[in-house]
Amino acid sequence: MNHYQAAIIGFGKAGKTLAAALGRAGWRVAIIEKSRAMYGGTCINVGCIPTKALVHDVQHHASFSDAMQRKAAVVELLREKNYLNLAAIGKVDVIDGEAEFVDAHTLKITSSQQVSQIHAERIFINSGAEAVFPALEGLVAGPRVVDSSGILNLTQLPQRLGILGGGYIGVEFASMFAGFGSEVTLFESAPQFLAREDDDISAAIARILQEQGVKLELNTALQRVTSGRDSVTLHTAQGDREVDVLLVATGRRPATKALKLENAGVVTDARGAVRVDKQLKTSVDHIWALGDVTGGPQFTYISLDDFRIVYDQLLGKGTRTTEDRVNIPYSVFMTPVLSRIGLTEAQARAQGRDIQVVTLPVAAIPRARVVDDTRGMLKAVVDNGSQQILGVALLAADSHEVINIVKTVMDAGLPYSVLRDQIFTHPTMSESLNDLFALVK
């Protein structure tokens, strides 16, 4: 049995970064990944990189076939690069196979070639998350019923695409495939669209999607699904709907079922998320969990920060914790992009805050005219007492870049006037922050 100072389950952002850092520090490290097709993790292979490559190409009017070929080439390049980055470190072993706990220090690894075991002084769980299919009759994965990973492997553009789930993943794919030319229908069981956003923001998103040709069917209860050779039929309380491909985008859950965590005494919650403390340590002192498997925000940049927290314990000062990160931004890569940080207006009012709310139409921004996309709006919530920014929503081209400027100001505790009076280059989307915050009285 091989012995390691550290065993890492999963090749995602946190795991691969930790493996490299520990290997370079002289530790003997094993990183275990059940599929060679997932070297580099979810983001590179079936998440943010391939989807954003497709978003880029649809915005540049590429054909679906050309876009899928370029996506595959980008993914293959980055996957190979990630593998070589670790393989080049003499102290790191990349092991193919599915890991499960035998006990708190021993992992059994099963591959198509063999079954083996390794012993590790410390173990790091970075197994990510997996798509969830609601328990409905006929709703099973197949050639015409796919999750967010399966849809990235389509070889032909579906003429009619149905999307089950009106959350952020569903919205992103709806905008993308409508841009490629599919007739997209988005089915949402809730009566309200994007309830996590303020009403004016969700209404603006709905208008943009509808202008792209996306049909929104809210308050639609799916009862069962029938898959045929050439189509899928959704049986709902409102009647039957037929599509060529159905994307199930109803959420993701931590991928822990196959790990047999009970053999190591690692505690999970009802959803299977590994319970961790503020330094990402599990119920077992020498086992940590990082990334999506903890049930927190499923973002690559959160996984990277998880690495920083754990690395600081192992080889740093040991002071960094999850409590250090505030004002976590996110972007939904529809076209144009939605980016948000902090509190919504509704959340701020529910907290009884004394606030000002200002909005600016994207059509008022010179750069929006230059890039010929005037859709959307900017919105800011400002605390009247402290003059600090409580939250911002940007539904605009390049908002995924601009939101990071807002985060820097919020994290520093600076007043909104810093952005109102900042000198930005022209013509840029960043300078719209001058105009947005000039509206605060």
Catalytic residue annotation: 426
Query: Cα(242)–Cα(136) distance, rounded to whole angstroms?
Result: 17
Q: Give the count of alpha carbons within 13 A of 55, CB side only.
A: 20
Only one residue has tokens 């890991």, namely 99
d(CA 337, CA 47): 16
Rg of the chain over CA atoms, in angstroms?
A: 23
Instruction: Please give the single-letter amino acid code of residue 393.
Output: A
Q: Which residues partner with 243 through β-bridges?
A: 232
DSSP string, 127-164: --EEE-----BT---SSSEE-TTGGGG-SS--SEEEEE
User: CA-CA distance, 249 to 318, in Å (whole number)?
Assistant: 38
Pairwise CA distance, residues 270 & 46, whole Å = 26
Nearest residue to 203 (alpha-carbon basis) of 188, 217, 189, 193 = 193
H helix intervals, 265-414? 300-315, 345-350, 366-370, 399-411
Q: Cα separations (Å) of 159 from 178, 192, 212, 360?
A: 10, 27, 15, 36
* Rounded Cα gap, residues 44 and 416, in angstroms: 36
List 185's β-bridge partners, or say none.
Answer: 162, 215
* DSSP alpha helix (H) spans, 295-415: 300-315, 345-350, 366-370, 399-411
Q: Tell me, what amino acid is at 71?
A: K
